[in-house]
């Protein structure tokens, strides 16, 4: 499985290259060269979110990590969730269900993708004997989830840009009260788009990095976040219909990554109406 840019001028990339690079050299977003197909009959025999993830994640990582490596990473990835199965499903009536994705440590669905990305970041940095700077823009939940996911890894320093006065007090406190020496929260005089523009410019220049440092993306531009989110759509479909009927998903989303993960799951074989 290799990856290419949506703009067509950056291709043949391995999973690890996509992981550590984030944005493609031509400014596009990385996509897999093809959609790996899941074995739905095998998934029907599984029960937990983690079991689902152990089937799906290795489909994307074989160009850089052995399956045994990936399974070992996944056993240690998702932490501090309030529910054993990470995602809860509640039935409202005969046709409506709610998939609860707020049981992670920052109460955001982004805990799923960012904890997965941080675990792979750390594994790659360890085997290359390097360190990394995580740079992200946020209007709230991305920054909180990124900080929480990365703070336990000494190889990663997180710099999160947030717009001045444009978020809830709870989210502000989640990002500005973390007592970790590798976490830096920066307030920007502007909007989220201004923060994102700074991040994109930094990724295009990279002149401030040391020779042994990577610059890592935690916004939706990193494909590994999408992989983590694909897993909970397959999990919901398993629990609600056992893949025997297609579901409709109503997805509240900001930067499109969450609903794109649902589309990706469908392209991989999940029944979707």
230-269 confidence digits (pLDDT tens): 999 999 999 999 999 999 999 986 668 899 999 999 999 9
| Number of structural domains found in the chain | 2
What per-residue confidence (pLDDT) applies to 257?
86
Last residue of a domain, one of 200, 217, 234: 217
Tell whether the torsion through CA atoms of 178, 53, 203 and 7 is positive or negative. Answer: negative
Question: pLDDT: is 218 or 159 the higher one?
Answer: 159
Is 125 contained in some domain? no
Is 122 contained in some domain? no
pLDDT of 165 > 80? The answer is no
What's the CATH number where 19 sits? 3.90.1380.10
Is 119 contained in some domain? no
Residues 100 and 152 in one domain: no
Question: pLDDT: is 239 or 211 the higher one?
Answer: 239
Residues 103 and 146 in one domain: no
Tell whether the torsion through CA atoms of 221, 149, 224 and 261 is positive or negative. Answer: negative
Strand, coil or helix: 192: helix
Residues 228 and 101 in one domain: yes
User: CA 234, CA 266: separation in Å to the nearest integer?
Assistant: 9
Residues 87 and 156 in one domain: no
Domain span at residue 153 reads 130-217
Catalytic residue among 110, 151, 157, 210: 110
What's the CATH number where 150 sits? 3.40.50.1100
Residues 80 and 100 in one domain: yes
Measured N-to-C along each axis, helices 169-176 and 141-150 cross at an angle, to the nearest 10 degrees, of: 30
Side-chain half-sphere exposure of 106, counting CA atoms within 13 A: 28
Told to judge if 110 belongs to the known catalytic residues of this protein, a careful annotator would answer yes
Question: What pLDDT band is residue 122 in, cutting at 50, 70 and 90?
Answer: very high
pLDDT of 113 > 80? The answer is yes
pTM (2 d.p.): 0.91
Nearest to 70 by CA among 165, 147, 1: 1
Residues 80 and 169 in one domain: no
What per-residue confidence (pLDDT) applies to 80?
94
17-60 confidence digits (pLDDT tens): 999 988 888 888 999 999 999 999 999 999 999 999 999 999 99
Is 115 contained in some domain? no
pLDDT of 163 > 90? The answer is no
Residues 100 and 231 in one domain: yes
Note the Cα 122 to chain centre separation in Å. Answer: 14
Q: What are the residues whose beta carbons fall under 8 Å from the beta carbon of 118, sequence distance 6 or more?
A: 146, 149, 150, 153, 156
Residues 195 and 243 in one domain: no
């Amino acid at each position: 499985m290799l990856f290419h840019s949506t703009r067509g001028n950056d291709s043949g990339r391995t999973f690890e290259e996509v992981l550590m690079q984030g944005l493609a050299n031509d400014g596009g977003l990385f996509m897999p060269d093809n959609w790996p197909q899941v074995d739905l009959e095998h998934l029907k025999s599984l029960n937990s979110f983690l079991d689902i993830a152990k089937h799906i994640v290795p489909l994307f990582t074989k160009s850089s990590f052995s399956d045994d490596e990936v399974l070992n990473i996944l056993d240690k990835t998702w932490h501090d969730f309030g529910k054993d199965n990470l995602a809860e499903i509640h039935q409202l009536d005969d046709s409506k269900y709610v998939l609860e994705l707020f049981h992670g440590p920052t109460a955001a669905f982004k805990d799923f993708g960012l904890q997965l990305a941080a675990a792979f970041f750390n594994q790659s940095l360890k085997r290359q004997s390097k360190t990394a700077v995580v740079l992200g823009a946020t209007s709230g939940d991305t920054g909180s989830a990124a900080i929480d996911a990365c703070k336990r890894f000494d190889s990663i320093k997180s710099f999160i840009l947030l717009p001045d006065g444009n978020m809830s007090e709870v989210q502000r406190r989640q990002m500005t009260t973390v007592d970790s020496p590798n976490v830096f929260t920066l307030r920007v005089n502007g909007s989220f788009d201004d923060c994102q523009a700074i991040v994109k410019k930094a990724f295009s220049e990279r002149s401030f990095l040391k020779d042994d440092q990577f610059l890592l993306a935690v916004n939706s531009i990193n494909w590994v976040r999408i992989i983590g989110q694909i897993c909970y759509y397959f999990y919901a479909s398993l629990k609600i219909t056992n893949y025997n009927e297609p579901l409709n998903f109503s997805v509240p989303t900001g930067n499109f990554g969450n609903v794109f993960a649902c589309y990706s799951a469908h392209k991989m074989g999940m029944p979707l109406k």
